[in-house]
Amino acid sequence: MLRLRGKVLDSISILDDALKINPKSALLYYEKGMIQLSIFQEDQAKLSFQKALSLDPSLELATLGLAELSIQRKEWNEAEVLLNKIPAKSKHHAQALQGLSRIARNRYQFDQAEKFISLAIDENPKLEAAYPELVDLYLMDEKDDRAISLVKRGLDVLPRSPFLKIAMARIYQFQGNIDKALSELEFVRKKFWTSS
């Protein structure tokens, strides 16, 4: 884990060098903010996202980064305001809907969460992380048949997704079919996480 953190810190150092050459690059500040967010340097990430937006107020990725930070900090209202800034015609709107779903879920508004995450998948069927979130909501409501249909639909679009196979394993576990669940997990282990 320390080796990984060292590589992440090296990435920040590389971005800092790039920013010395191109200090007006909003995208570089956004990238730096995302790396900082991934290693829980929340205050630094916020500054990086804000700097990116000061250089390019239309950089929706930085707005989404700030929203993600607000969600991590459980600042639901602030995150909601930020996500609602992403227009419906934006290519990033599905990600905003996914964030709104997470907020609704944390507010125990499960029907609203399901609506948002369903819309996100409809808008962007390749939004891989959205599928397990909708599976969770379906299973909470004991809609395991809908969950299976969703995962199959996702696998049609993303056939190599280990996350969808893991979601299928969770459905089988929910149904009490431990053998099928273990089979899915074993497939993922062999296909994606076995070193060669």
Tokens, residue 93: 């709107």
| 61 lies in some domain | yes
| 181 lies in some domain | no
178 vs 194 pLDDT, higher one: 178
Residues 6+ apart with CB under 8 A from 155: 161, 164, 165
pLDDT, tens only, 95-127: 999 999 999 999 999 999 999 999 999 999 999
pTM value is 0.87
| 174 lies in some domain | no
Rg, Å, the chain Cα set: 19
- DSSP secondary structure letter of residue 90: S
- DSSP secondary structure letter of residue 138: H
CATH number at residue 14: 1.25.40.10
Distance, in Å, from the CA atom of 134 to the CA atom of 30, rounded to the nearest integer, reads 28
Q: What is the total count of domains within the chain?
A: 1
pLDDT, tens only, 143-176: 999 999 999 999 999 998 999 999 999 999 999 9
- Of 174, 154, 176, the C-alpha closest to 163 is 154
| 194 lies in some domain | no
Distance, in Å, from the CA atom of 66 to the CA atom of 138, rounded to the nearest integer, reads 28
Residue 9, pLDDT score? 75
Q: State which residues form the domain around 42.
A: 1-85
| 177 lies in some domain | no
| 150 lies in some domain | no
Map residue 109 onto helix, strand or coil.
Answer: coil
